Amino acid sequence: MSRKKWYRRVGLFGTAGAVLLQAGCALDPDLLLQAATQLFTEFAIFFTDAAVVAMR
């Protein structure tokens, strides 16, 4: 993916997030924490699995 497309997508998601937060959308901090924990766990599993496969 080109750098220009990447910047455009990041800008689009950033703008959408800002609009949601400014519109008064109440986001539960517990849900954000759970989502961040799950994301970190999924990445850790992926990288651990990739490392184990690379050592074979």
pLDDT in tens, 12-35: 777 777 766 666 566 677 878 898
Q: Calculate what percentage of the chain has a pLDDT beyond 70.
A: 82
The DSSP element (H or E) to which 5 belongs, if any, is helix 3-22
- Mean pLDDT over the full length of the chain: 81
Average pLDDT on 44-54 reads 93
- For the segment 3-19, the average pLDDT, to the nearest whole number, is 77
pLDDT score for 23: 61
Residue 54 CA to residue 3 CA, distance in Å, equals 28
Q: What percent of the chain has pLDDT over 90?
A: 30
